[in-house]
Every structure is written in C-alpha cells, then in structure tokens.
Structure 1
Amino acid sequence: MKSDFLNPRFLRYFIKVADLGSLVSASKELNVSQPSITRAVQILESNLGKKLFLRSKKGMKLTKEGQLFYLNSKAILSYNEKVYENISQPELKEKKQEEEYLRFGMPRSLSTSHKENLLWILKRNYENKKIRIVEEESNTLNKLVFENKLDFAISCIPEFHKDLTKVFLYNDPFCVAFYKGHHFQNMKEIPIDEIRKEPNYIFRRTCEFFYYNYKLTHKGKLDYKIINNIVDKRIKNGKHRDVIYTNSETTASHCIKTGLGVAIIPESVAIDYKLLFREVVKPSIKRDIYFIYRDENKDKINFDTKALKNALWL
C-alpha cells in the first residue's frame, strides 16, 4: 500500500524530533541511534514529497506541511492505541463462527513498539476483518499455528514443524539491563560469567535467552522440553541468585528500574522501557524473529513481508 511508510515507529521518531527540535535530543530521549531517527525522517519526507523540517544551526523547526503532518501523526498514534484496546485478547478461546476472524499470534516478549507496529500492519491490510490477537510464548505459538488454531504468528523460537513456513524478519540481540548506578554502567560490554555473579538476578521463565544459550553450547537437535526441564530444576533447587521470578517483560523492566535486580532481556525491550543496558558478550547471543504460517493459509496473508520487516525494525 502507498501509505505503508506511515508506521508507528517512524511517526514516534518524527514527533519526538518536532517536540525537541533536535535529532540529537530525540536520539537521547528515545535511546535510539541518531542515524535511525534521521533515516525515519528521510523516509517520511521522501514518500510525502514534502519537507517536514527547516534545518538551521539553532535546530529543527516544522514547516507548514510538517505542522499539518504532526497533527495527523498524533491522531494516527492515538487511533492505534484504541485499536489495540479493542482487538487485543489475552487468551485463545474457541467460539462459533471462528472462521470470521483472522487469528494472529505474537510473543509476550516482543517489545511494546513492535506490537503496536504489528497491529498497525494488520489494521491497514484487514480493514474489514475481525482480528483475534493471541499473546503466548513462542513455543506455544508454533504449536497453535501447526494445529491451525492460528492463521499465522510471529515467533522467536526457530524450532518448527516441517509443514510450517517461516520467513526471517530480523535479529534481536540480548543485553543485560540494570539500574542507575550499577557497576555495569562503567563497562562497554559484559561477559555472561559476570552477569551470573550478580547477587540480584531477575529470572524470567519465558526468556528465550536460555533457549539460545543452550543451543549455542550443545550439539544436536534441541527439544524445547529440555529447556523447560532446566528451568524447572533451577526454580526447584533454589541454588541460583534469583531474587525475583516473573514471566512478564513489563514487570521485569519495572523491577530493574527500581533497583531490585538485573536481567538478560532482548535489546528492543530495554530500548522500549528506556533501561540502562549493555551488550552481552562471550558469547554474544541474538534471538531470531520469524513470521510463520501453514502453506494452506498463505492466501490469507494480505501484506508484503518486506513491509512487515520495515514496520518491526528500522
């Protein structure tokens, strides 16, 4: 669609630059690299065919077209929030006439901005379709798509049945997030062994990091049940330094902000919640984000996967 460039991420970047009058200030406020914000503004201006900012040594000021686009951008983001409230459902429930719905799954650990962008894509391309959103951990989503209880989904675990089609979207590196004043703040990158020495660790059962770390250090095909067994033993024996147990990215992020501990989380989540974080190294681990579906549901996909990639990651 011609308006596919109007994804929420670009609009948020544009609004922040307009509010602060500076790319540098917007970059610091959003905790996003300046080139990413510059690129977003360039994409908007190129597709609109209009200059949105007057640039000078004093900063960036909206043009007349920019002022109009600013108001419309605010309206679009406000509308997106209402869409999310109306169609997001926490559980998959069997209903009569289920075929009326487009059934879409997304991981709980996907960042808030990514969820917003996904919903925007769905709304833009399925205006006359009811949408059922299911949020689960990736392994459950894989199973639901395979059982045809979901039409398609985003998954962070690349262990799929042979009958499922997967489209790679992007890599999301894992990082260690910590509170202000923590000694990690003085380090550029942090080995995993250093993180394991921390006395206050926030443990999240659904964190895909344990899957990718195990896959990296063990040979052979990985059964996700193995990961669940490792997690069960960890919780049962209590020999680790965990001080908080939660399955929620949101709860973990708030715990980090208040100084209750540190955690390994996806970098996109750390950026979303404006957390202090550093790259995890030795080894450096990234999670893979895929779009998955059964071949028989291919005709239901009413958008270009390139647009999906752009909406999820700049």
Structure 2
Amino acid sequence: MIKNLDFLSPRFLQYFSTVVETGSILAASEEINVSQPSITRVIQIIEKNLNTKLFVRNKKGVKLTEDGQEFYLNAKTILSHSEKAISSIQSNKVSIQNENIEFKIGLANTLSQTHKERILWVLKRNNSDKRFKISEEESFTLNEKVLENEIDYAFTCIPISKKNINKINLYNDNFCVAFYKGHEFQNLKTVDIEKVRSDKNYVFRNTCEFFYYEHIKRTNKAPSYDEIRDIISNRKKVGRDRDVIYTNSDTTAASCIKAGIGIAVIPESVAIDQKLLYRPISKPTLSREICLIRNIKNKRELDAKKSTLRNAIWL
C-alpha cells in the first residue's frame, strides 16, 4: 500500500497528462511552458512511487504502457475531482461564515490565481477532518491579521519580522519580464529593468511585490505599507512610466500580454503558469519570498509537512 500520495498532486498529474496528450515531453514543455528536465523529473517521481514504467520511447516521442494507460484514466478522474473540490470550497465561502470554522487561512492575492488550487488540495488532503475559510488579500493586510490573531495562518509574499510570528520560508520566486510573441525582448537572454521602464506598453499590477523588493535593494530598508501605496500612487499620478493598464489580477495582466497589449514584471511562477514568454531580469536579480506565517500564540497546528507545502508552491 502506498502511504505517501504527494506524487498525486494536481500539478504532477497535469504534467503527466500533458505529455500523454501532446505525445512527447518536448511538446508538453512547449505547451505548458515548463522545462523538459522538470517534466522528466515529475514522470520519474510518479514511476518510482508506482514502481512501474508509464511510457516507452519511440521515434515520434513517447507511448503509454498498459499501466500508463490505466494511470492516465485515473489521473484525469483525480484532476476532475480536484476541480470540483476547489469549486465547492469557493462556492461555500459565504454559506459557511456563521459555522464553527476551525481554520482561517489567508492567501496573498498574487498567489491566489497561480497557486490556490495546489495549496487548497494539500491542506484539505492532510486535514480532511477540518474546515477552512479562505481570505484572499494583499500580503501587508495578511501580515497584520496574523499579528492580531485574526487568522490562523497566511501564505504571504512579503516577510514580517516580529518576535511573536513563526515564519516558514517555502520558496523564493524570481521576478521576470513577461512579453508577447515577437517583442524585441524575445531575442535577449536577460532584460535590463531600465529597458522595461522605457517600453511604451507597460501593464502595471497594483499588487505586485516587485516594488517592495526593489525599494529594499535601493535603500537597504524595508518600506511600510503606506510607503508602497505612495510609490504606486505617485507612479500613476506622474505618468512618466507610460503604464497603459492598471490591474490587481495576474490573469488580467497575462491576457494583456498574450494579446500583445503590453509587457509586465511578474513572478516567474506566474509566467510559467500562464504560459507566457519571459526572460530573467538582468543583475541584480530580485525575488519574492513566499512564506507561511502564524502567530506563536495560536496553538492550532496544520497537518502538512514543510516539504509538501513547498511542493504546492513551486511545482
């Protein structure tokens, strides 16, 4: 009997299913904008846990074995159930407000679109006897709510340094420049941030933590929430940076980029998830810190290993 079912995460199953449906790891890599080594590693992990081969290689790519065919049908079923489970949790947010909810979980806005499905899947699978209320807000707000013990845990993208806060670093997510097909950045290996600022079509994401981390890099001092708000407000007022669209949504920014409307500085995980063309920012590189925080006065414990939560973020 297999005791550790982490290899059945939605992301692993999606990688596997895409290889099946495209016929090769190369095609799958191009389809979902994930490196071939990452997909190969996922397939190896699944095969190791199942103790069987799922594919055989041929001149055209890969072909399912008999075990692979059976696993593919099961994978599609699991993915379907995962989608239904997420929809159920989201649709019940209002109706369960007055019930005795054990865990209040905060999720940063900029994680909600890209990572929400995997985070909820891990939490629910490891805490099947518990109910969750999900709050999606800016990282600064979540930090304050954890500090005030208004929520039990928060997945946040801006670190908080207080002695009564327990913090677990899950992943450092590099910022990158995402752009549409045919843009001049496509011919570069890295992109200088000044080139981004001079571009005539910039998609400005109000909740992007890039400005927080860039401020630290420039001043060696962490800005407050009000200072970040002032930076954003002044940027819009002055208009020097030629922003063409303002949005809080990762998916809206991605749609604009795909449509050729503009470019944006976004976390690399978002670019990969939204299948965008992107390049790393030239040195100095910047990354956001994705972490799980809770108030040490809060004695409620989630049943989920650090490694499992980290996989939910980066895979």
Scaled by the length of structure 1, the TM-score of the pair is 0.93
Kindly tell me: are residues 296 and 45 of structure 1, through their superposed partners in 2, closer, same or farther at Cα, counting changes over 3 Å? farther
Deviation, 1:208, is: 0.3
Q: Which residue of 2 aligns with 1:12?
A: 14
Q: Which residue of 2 aligns with 1:60?
A: 62
Give SS of 1:259's match: coil
Kindly tell me: are residues 299 and 111 of structure 1, through their superposed partners in 2, closer, same or farther at Cα, counting changes over 3 Å? closer
User: Does structure 2 retain, via aligned residues, the 8 Å contact 1:108–1:137?
Assistant: yes
Encode CA deviations 1:165-211: one digit per residue, 9 max, x unaligned. 11011111111111111111111110101111111111111100000
Q: Which residue of 2 aligns with 1:287?
A: 288
99-108 or 118-127: which moved more? 99-108
CA distance in 1, matches of 2:136, 2:76: 27
List alignment gaps of at least 5 residues for structure 1.
none
List alignment gaps of at least 5 residues for structure 2.
none
Encode CA deviations 1:125-183: one digit per residue, 9 max, x unaligned. 12222211111111111112222222111111013432111101111111111111111
CA distance in 2, matches of 1:9, 1:112: 14
Amino acid at match of 1:310: N
Whether 1:32 aligns to 2:34 is yes
Deviation, 1:212, is: 0.5
- Aligned residue pair count: 313
User: Does structure 2 retain, via aligned residues, the 8 Å contact 1:144–1:150?
Assistant: yes
Give SS of 2:226's match: helix
Kindly tell me: are residues 169 and 64 of structure 1, through their superposed partners in 2, closer, same or farther at Cα, counting changes over 3 Å? same
Q: Which residue of 2 aligns with 1:179?
A: 180
CA distance in 2, matches of 1:288, 1:230: 20
Matches within 5 A, 1:125-144: 125-144=126-145
User: Does structure 2 retain, via aligned residues, the 8 Å contact 1:203–1:245?
Assistant: yes
User: Does structure 2 retain, via aligned residues, the 8 Å contact 1:156–1:287?
Assistant: yes
User: Does structure 2 retain, via aligned residues, the 8 Å contact 1:90–1:133?
Assistant: no
User: Does structure 2 retain, via aligned residues, the 8 Å contact 1:256–1:262?
Assistant: yes
Percent of aligned positions with the same letter in both sequences? Answer: 51
Q: Which runs of 4+ in 1 moved over 3 A?
A: 89-97, 296-299
User: Does structure 2 retain, via aligned residues, the 8 Å contact 1:199–1:242?
Assistant: yes
Encode CA deviations 1:71-120: one digit per residue, 9 max, x unaligned. 111111111111111213798999444x4242111112126452211111
CA distance in 1, matches of 2:95, 2:141: 15
